[in-house]
Amino acid sequence: MEKVSAEERFLFDLQGFLLLKNVYSAEECRALLDALRRLEAQDYDDRWIMERGSKQSMPTRFRLSKESVRMNGLLRLDPAFDVVMDQPRVLARLQAFMGEPQLINTWSISKGPGTPEGGWHRGIPPTDYSVRNGEIRSRMLNVVTFLTDNGPKDGCVVAVPGSHKNNLDLPWGDYHGLGMPGSVAVTGKAGDVFMFSEAVVHNGLPKTTPGTRSNLYFNYVHKHMNVAAFEPHNLQHFFVPPEVRARFTPERKKLTEWMEHCRWD
């Protein structure tokens, strides 16, 4: 397993995130993007979700706005995404920043021109981030894989460095885009990976350029976190059914071990 340098640990603790350059080649991005476009073009029979989920459950294909689409439960939908689960550079850093990771939610967001900004949010409170005896522990981390370039006007992620340790909150909903004090646009090229503690306050900027920006979001939690209690209404997208999980390598089975002890319904 690749060693994570003292400088990267310093930066992750300081900012709450890291941007890894050139994690995926152009060919690898193309293959992932082709699979994503196939999924985005399909219709889904989501009666099983509506019958057994809750009123708040997200459909498989969810229009965030008329210009943008979110796909939920990528591993259930296509084996092309399996490689993202345990990408070696990412996995080494997940272990360094959270201990024993378990994969929960997987989704994508594709934004076309005119996509508005999202809303400022975080997945866990700053109390779920700690450093004890030299060990960094973020209870939840999001791994964002850029399949296309994320320029400043492409609808890229925007984040507040250091907010995973902030002591005073603001009414997040009152702020828009880069108007949030201390916020920075997280820009990069196709193949880069942005890893952040979900305690970091973040958002998505509007897309005003031509073309489509597509990212994958793989969300990991520490083994001790109760997955079922986190977002019960979307557990059907977190959970990979046993017949699908059967194809996973031993490492990927280990990263999704909680699924052996749980039924989403």
Ligand X SMILES: O=C(O)CCC(=O)C(=O)O
Both structure tokens of 105? 């939610």
Q: Which residue's CB is nearer to ligand X, number 164 or number 202? A: 202
How many residues touch ligand X under the rule CB under 6 A: the total is 8
- Does position 33 interact with ligand X (CB under 6 A)? The reply is no
Q: Which residue reads 């400088």 in tokens?
A: 7
Q: Rounded CA gap, 138 and 119, in Å?
A: 22
Handedness of CA 225, 21, 27, 159 (dihedral sign): positive
Distance (Å) of CA 229 to CA 224, 233, 257, 262 = 12, 9, 17, 12
**Cβ 155 to ligand X, closest distance in Å?**
6
Handedness of CA 68, 73, 74, 77 (dihedral sign): negative
- Does position 217 interact with ligand X (CB under 6 A)? The reply is yes
Q: Which residue's CB is nearer to ligand X, number 9 or number 115? A: 115
DSSP annotation of 241 = P
- Does position 204 interact with ligand X (CB under 6 A)? The reply is yes
Binder among 29, 77, 109, 147 for ligand X (CB under 6 A): 109
Binder among 157, 199, 200, 221 for ligand X (CB under 6 A): 157
DSSP annotation of 58 = P
- Does position 188 interact with ligand X (CB under 6 A)? The reply is no
- Does position 122 interact with ligand X (CB under 6 A)? The reply is no
Catalog residues that contact ligand X under the rule CB under 6 A. Answer: 109, 118, 155, 157, 202, 204, 215, 217
